Structure 1
Amino acid sequence: RSQRRKKNSLDGETKSQISFANKFFGCSKLSRKENSDFKTTAPPGNGFQRTVTSDTDKTLSSEMELGSRMEKNDQFLQMLGKKTANKHLDLNSCGLTTADVRKMVALLPFFPDLEELDISWNDFVGGNLPSITQQMQVTSKLKVLRLASCRLTTEDVRALGEAFEMIPELEELNLSWNSKVGGNLPLILQKFQKGSKIQVLELVDCALTSEDGAFLGQLLPKLQSLEVLDLSINRNIGGGLNNIAQGLQSISTLKILKLHSCGLSQKSVKILDAAFRYLGELRKLDLSCNKELGGGFEDTSALLVMLKHLEVLDLHQCSLTVDDIASLTQVIPLLSNLQELDLSFNKKMGSSSENLLSRLRFLPALKSLLINNCALESETFTALVEASIHLPALEIFSLSWNKCVGGNLKLLLETLKLSTSLHVLRLSSCSLVTEDVEFLASVIRMGHLAKLQKLDLSYNDGICDAGWAIFCQNLWFLKELTELDISLRPSHFRDCGHWFRYLLFAVTKLPEITEIGMKRWTLPVSQEEELGSFNKDPKRRSIHFDHGGFQ
């Protein structure tokens, strides 16, 4: 009887330990197996009680060791500011040391259901990845693996390539900002075969070579589930672009293609043209910062017409020519689903985009329009103003570095004051004058632009103190404002006028404000004291005046 009581007591303690494992790590399959093993029957006999007691002691010891180890692992995660999770382990930007990596490796067997592992932006992962990949057999359910900026070595990427065979469910892989990936892409992706479930492949700034591009072109037809491909900032990938474009023709599922800063040329546009005809599901296309691309759109007016579902088009800093703009004028109005358009830093637009900008009226879904530094002239600005009234969904509008806006802001605000969706308005370095901000203040006072969250008026040094005073007196009407920038140019310093106290008062009435840019404005002693008193108020400690040190 006493032995039965002892056995029942041990049963309870063991179940308690198993419950502990379930609570912290959700190891339900492991627990069921151990519980089943413990209850396995055996033929009765004198040795049975000794066997049960011995096995129970071993199991109890094992479970106590398991519980102790799990508690240490839990403490390890808490030390890094992370919580335990059964399916997700996020150690991004945790400053992991080599010792931490070892602890993490010991932790992995306790996550048999792990689906997402993110250890990006941890330098000491580099050189230690083989120890992690050796545990991949216990993380066979892994769907997301992020290793961005981990300083991976050649040995690391070789070990990673071998490990992919053990994680057949992988859907997302991010190896961005690891230069050793370049020249070794076949070693890494060699295990990807036809039927691969990979949906997201990010290889930003990996020093990819033209040979890597050729390999990728051959691999793409095997990745029939691919939806996102990001090859940005690989300036030598253009040598393999023919292969990549040919491979893309087999990926009808692709929704996002990013080739930002890839050294593309005029010829590249024509090469991609053949691929775009097969990418009917594409939602986002980024060809930005390819300065040699200019002139490539001249004979490909049908290039984008096939992309009926395109929502984002980024062509900023592409040196677009007059003929490019003429071709785009025919195409862009047909992209009725377009939500984001970035044409910034294309200076030929200033004299040739009147027709293009006027046709933006045919994009009713447009939410973001960026035309920074396009050297707009009065005629092109007027065309833009007239089109903006037909953009009811516009949330982000940037006209920074277009000098023609100065003295003409009233024209734009007459149309924007009808907008109920505008969240971001950027007018940096637009040569605004006092009358411009006075009219802006009147529009704000009348209750327009009520949804504005970010307002950038920086580098407009021609506004006098009276203009800033009127503006600040009406600023408090923008109840949803979170960021305001009125900084001066780097070479220009000015004393704050009496308007500064109006600004402080307005800020007390703005419940969401967190950031005020005021670089190179200087404060006299009396105003420094006012700001000091303001900052001491505990209710306002979340508000940051970014002044770079008042002079």
Structure 2
Amino acid sequence: MSQTRKKNSSDGETKPRTSFVNKFLRGSKLMSSKAESRKESNDLATTDFQPSNDAQKTATLDTAQPLTSDEDWGSRMEKNEQFLQKLGRTAVDKCLDLNNCRLTAADVREVVALLPFLPDLEKLDISWNDSVGGNLHSVTQQMHLVSKLKILRLGSCRLTTDDVRALGEALKVILELKELNLSWNSEVGGNLPLTLQKFQEGSKLQMLELVDCDLTSEDGAFVGQLLPMMQNLEVLDLSINRNIGASLNSIAQGLKSTSNLKVLKLHSCGLSQESVRLLDAAFRSLCELKKLDLSCNRELGGGFEDSSAQLATLEHLEVLDLHQCSLTADDVMSLTQVIPLLSSLQELDLSANKKMGSSSENLLSRLRFLPALKSLLINSCALESETFTALAEASTYLPALEIFDLSWNKCVGGNLKLLLETLKFLASLRVLRLSSCGLVTEDVALLASVIHTGHLAKLRELDLSYNDSICDAGWAIFCQNVRFLKELTELDISLRPSTSRDCGQWFRHLLCAVAKLSEITEIGMKRWNLPTSQEEELEHFHQDHRRSIHFDLGEFQ
């Protein structure tokens, strides 16, 4: 969830920052034919801007009063711009993005005041603002002023039941809506029909996100009944609603009517073995599906044994996430027949399925038939030497691989040489994670030689943490060669929580290398102790280079 917050909060910062006043004064209503424009604005204020009884119960709203002159209009626009400047945001290109702005109740009223000036608004995002909860009705009562709205995001707004009901009424007038996000609002659960019951057959909605809304099994059944009305739906995310697994039969039936669906996320939804059979029957209708996330459904294990045949029909599937699904040996055997047929697959996550360790040799060896694969996450799968050997051999046939995560597989330690050919020829590799792999000095020496020859020149993230068996000599060899990773942004060599060691002389080599890496910003070194002399070296390094590089030494350094 924190990642989502971070992503959302940066979404609005990349847009050009033009003047709000200039945008709405530029060559338009106020600059030409003033009298006619004033008449139109007054008509709008007196006909469309009549506050309801609910609105009157709130604090006074500037927008509830007609703007009777050019002076009033200009004054209101100046206040609007001051409000946006205070938040560090602006209204640009039919978009008002105020997510994660810590809006107060008064700020919500200012948002309402903006709406009459944005008749062509297509995107409204006020997510991650707690004060929206309990005050949304003041916004929804003015939704008729932005009837062209296509994107509405209200994630993590602490919506109340009254908010949910008010939103349902407002959605009746937003006929062009294509994206609706109500994620992380627990009161949506048990009340979903109040919001979505107004959707009619032929809805233009393309994206519906209801992550962690505390949906009930009844809500899930309602979604199943609603899906046939959403012929244009492309993204459906019901993740982290653990009670909807009980109503998956209804959802699966509804999915058969959503032939345009491209993304289906059911992460942590309480799915069972029976769920796999129900979904498999629906896959025949989802010929356009590109992303399927069934992760973190621990009761799913055993469901693929006899119910995965239709998965192979998803010829456009690019992302398959089955991490932490308690896959059994029989599941793996069944998936061995299916996954290699998904020729468009670009991302495969099988992580945290520990029973794969002794049964996935055939599956991993057949990954060679997925030449488009860009991300392979197989961390914490208890791989054994035979399965790791099969994976190493297959990986040489994956030229597009950009992310490779083998963390928490102890069999890698002492055997990294099996990946030598892979590391030499994966020119596109960006992320390599080998945390807690039991690496030894010979492994990092081998890695250093590969780095020295320039074969990992595109690497941006390298995780070697929790490999405590590497001696100081090994770290010295590695640090002397890490300078050749010119695009590296993150490096982690932290020790495991139960360990603490003094840094050797290799720390000076690390500082010399980092000085030559222009992109690096983060170096994890938790539980490495720096004596006073090395602390002074680090301080001098920061003074000399004046770069924003964070050396994470943990809490107790």
Q: Which runs of 5+ in 1 are unaligned?
A: 1-18, 41-58
Q: Is 2:126–2:153's contact at 8 Å kept on the other side of the alignment?
A: yes
Would you say 1:548 and 2:554 are equivalent positions? Answer: yes
1:433-444 equivalences in 2 (<5 Å): 433-444=440-451
1:46 alignment counterpart: none
Q: What CA deviation, in whole Å up to 9, does each residue of 1:471-510 have, x standing for no partner?
A: 0000000000000000011111110110001001100100
What secondary structure sits across from 2:164 in the alignment?
Answer: helix
1:279 alignment counterpart: 286
1:301 CA drift (Å): 3.6
| Match 2:416 to one of 403, 409, 413 | 409
Would you say 1:421 and 2:428 are equivalent positions? Answer: yes
| Distance 1:281-1:236 versus aligned 2 partners, 3 A rule | same
Q: What CA deviation, in whole Å up to 9, does each residue of 1:182-207 have, x standing for no partner?
A: 00011000111011100000000000
What letter matches 1:257 in structure 2? Answer: L
What letter matches 2:369 in structure 1? Answer: F
What letter matches 1:346 in structure 2? Answer: N
| Match 2:165 to one of 158, 163, 171 | 158
1:477-496 equivalences in 2 (<5 Å): 477-496=484-503
1:99 CA drift (Å): 1.0
1:108 CA drift (Å): 1.3
Q: Is 1:228–1:255's contact at 8 Å kept on the other side of the alignment?
A: yes
Q: TM-score normalized by structure 2?
A: 0.90
1:133 alignment counterpart: 140
1:541 CA drift (Å): 2.8
Larger radius of gyration: 1
Q: Is 1:266–1:297's contact at 8 Å kept on the other side of the alignment?
A: yes
Q: What CA deviation, in whole Å up to 9, does each residue of 1:378-400 have, x standing for no partner?
A: 00000000000000000000000
1:4-23 equivalences in 2 (<5 Å): 23=23
Q: TM-score normalized by structure 1?
A: 0.91
What letter matches 2:137 in structure 1? Answer: P
Would you say 1:146 and 2:157 are equivalent positions? Answer: no
Residues in 1 aligned to 2:38 and 2:273: alpha-carbon distance in whole angstroms: 71
Q: Is 1:27–1:112's contact at 8 Å kept on the other side of the alignment?
A: no
Q: Is 2:265–2:293's contact at 8 Å kept on the other side of the alignment?
A: yes
2:225 alignment counterpart: 218
1:415 CA drift (Å): 2.0
1:23 CA drift (Å): 3.1
1:546 CA drift (Å): 1.2
Residues in 2 aligned to 1:235 and 1:494: alpha-carbon distance in whole angstroms: 43
Q: Is 2:280–2:308's contact at 8 Å kept on the other side of the alignment?
A: no
1:51 alignment counterpart: none
| Distance 1:98-1:303 versus aligned 2 partners, 3 A rule | same
What letter matches 1:400 in structure 2? Answer: S
1:67 CA drift (Å): 1.3
1:35 CA drift (Å): 5.2
Deviates more, 1:101-110 or 1:226-235: 101-110
1:206 alignment counterpart: 213
1:466 CA drift (Å): 0.5
| Match 1:497 to one of 474, 485, 504 | 504
Q: Is 2:318–2:344's contact at 8 Å kept on the other side of the alignment?
A: yes
Q: Which runs of 5+ in 2 are unaligned?
A: 1-18, 41-65
| Distance 1:192-1:469 versus aligned 2 partners, 3 A rule | same
Would you say 1:178 and 2:185 are equivalent positions? Answer: yes
| Distance 1:80-1:25 versus aligned 2 partners, 3 A rule | farther
1:26 CA drift (Å): 6.2
Residues in 2 aligned to 1:101 and 1:73: alpha-carbon distance in whole angstroms: 12
| Distance 1:258-1:25 versus aligned 2 partners, 3 A rule | farther
1:39 CA drift (Å): 11
2:97 alignment counterpart: 90
Q: Is 2:295–2:325's contact at 8 Å kept on the other side of the alignment?
A: yes
2:250 alignment counterpart: 243
| Distance 1:532-1:167 versus aligned 2 partners, 3 A rule | same
- What is the alpha-carbon root mean square deviation over aligned residues? 1.9
| Distance 1:519-1:39 versus aligned 2 partners, 3 A rule | closer
1:109 CA drift (Å): 1.1
Q: Is 2:38–2:70's contact at 8 Å kept on the other side of the alignment?
A: no
What letter matches 1:359 in structure 2? Answer: R
1:115 CA drift (Å): 0.4
Would you say 1:382 and 2:389 are equivalent positions? Answer: yes
Identity %: 77
Q: Is 1:444–1:474's contact at 8 Å kept on the other side of the alignment?
A: yes
| Distance 1:418-1:138 versus aligned 2 partners, 3 A rule | same
Residues in 1 aligned to 2:67 and 2:161: alpha-carbon distance in whole angstroms: 44
Residues in 1 aligned to 2:155 and 2:458: alpha-carbon distance in whole angstroms: 36
What secondary structure sits across from 1:253 in the alignment?
Answer: coil
Deviates more, 1:352-361 or 1:411-420: 411-420
